[in-house]
Chains A and B, each alone.
Chain A
């Protein structure tokens, strides 16, 4: 017997690995864990592929990535607490903190202070707001697609996007009074 659709899977789903990794990286905030998440999510997607009915493969994959990332975050929260920090605090390893393979030092240096601030601000947003904004701005998904990926109604997507943007805008528009 042959597994149906492995070639189809590679053709339809694998082009979206960058999107998958970017979302995972923004959700879990750690390059190594993000790679684990994407690997697990892709293998899970392969097993679900028989039930994929066509349509937007990217949104479909991102939904699986998103759920896998949440599982991984929950597991990390249960399992260890900042073990690296605690372990290496006094050791010689402090200068050798876990390196982020995705972060090219030269590229990092070249980025301006403003960029770093925006990056940090985005990373500091509450998870459910950050995911909506990343899906909208970096993955360029429509409200409907974001709703599909996150499993919340479009109205909630809109209000989360609004809250996220308000938090990031230097001069957030206040209440309604003019």
Chain B
């Protein structure tokens, strides 16, 4: 038996194990196995490996939050009876930047789920983040609240020099305001929010279809503090302190890109 012959027949043995052969082809494989000691054990090895993978390797089912998020987004893309005439034509979605036309994920129309999810997110964060910080609940709740239509922005501007003065007279501190449009995190505006028993600044950034809320307020306890990350399927939270200010970034953006965003803030 030549090496080349066996190399070829081994793909056939594999195909046999995978149930891909016609009866005639399977008979040819079987005849080869009867006469070739080198190949005889191959079917058993392949089946053992296949069995191990199916038995032991992780099959990752879609998390509940993903099911819900997708249903919510599909509902958002479907025509609203009240504004049927304003619906974009389906073909527009196939344009190169189709995703820009997609609505932001909202929890509209799924209030029970939204509430449950917010609660789950908060529970997870309390576990993840250091004890003594009761804030994650408030921060994530604030973010989710802000995603409701009409709640996200008090001032709409992509210009940090418009946003920063807007806070004057509305806050008893001057939050730093920075735009990272060039780096792919454009500032879209800001609003006032209420956290930790005080009014705080919320800067709003956009990353593709994801919204990033960055809450900022004076941190009396820590002048500088390293970033800490926490997450719960869908919401990532990063907090740090710098120059006497506390920063909390919240988003459903993936952790890596949110960390990129925070790194931009940390850079001088």
Tell me whether chain B's interface is mostly helix, strand or loop, or mixed. helix
B162 close to A (CB within 8 Å): no
Q: Which residue from B14, B57, B71, B254 sits with its C-beta under 8 Å from A138?
A: B57
List, in ascending order, chain A residues with CB within 8 A of B52's CB: 118
Q: Smallest CB–CB gap between B221 and chain A, Å?
A: 15
Q: Smallest CB–CB gap between A160 and chain B, Å?
A: 11
Q: Which residue from A1, A83, A93, A175 sits with its C-beta under 8 Å from B3?
A: A175
Q: Smallest CB–CB gap between A71 and chain B, Å?
A: 11
List, in ascending order, chain B residues with CB within 8 A of A98's CB: 229, 231, 236, 255
Chain A residue with minimal CB distance to B255?
Answer: A98
Chain B residue with minimal CB distance to A49?
Answer: B90
Alpha-carbon distance between A21 and B61 when the two chains are bound, in angstroms: 6
Taking residues whose C-beta sits less than 8 angstroms from the other chain, chain B's interface range is 35 or more
Alpha-carbon distance between A173 and B7 when the two chains are bound, in angstroms: 10
Alpha-carbon distance between A101 and B60 when the two chains are bound, in angstroms: 11
Contact residues of A between 14 and 41, Cβ < 8 Å to B = 14, 17-18, 20-22, 25-26, 30-36, 38-40
Chain B residue with minimal CB distance to A75?
Answer: B257
A residues sitting closer than 8 Å to B (CB atoms) are 1-4, 6, 9-10, 14, 17-18, 20-22, 25-26, 30-36, 38-40, 42-44, 46-48, 50, 76, 79-80, 83-84, 87-88, 90-93, 96-99, 101-102, 111-112, 114-115, 118-119, 122, 133, 136-138, 142-143, 158-159, 161-162, 165, 168-169, 171, 173, 175-178
- 7 A-B pairs within 8 Å (CB atoms) are namely A14-B70, A17-B70, A44-B98, A138-B54, A143-B15, A143-B18, A171-B45
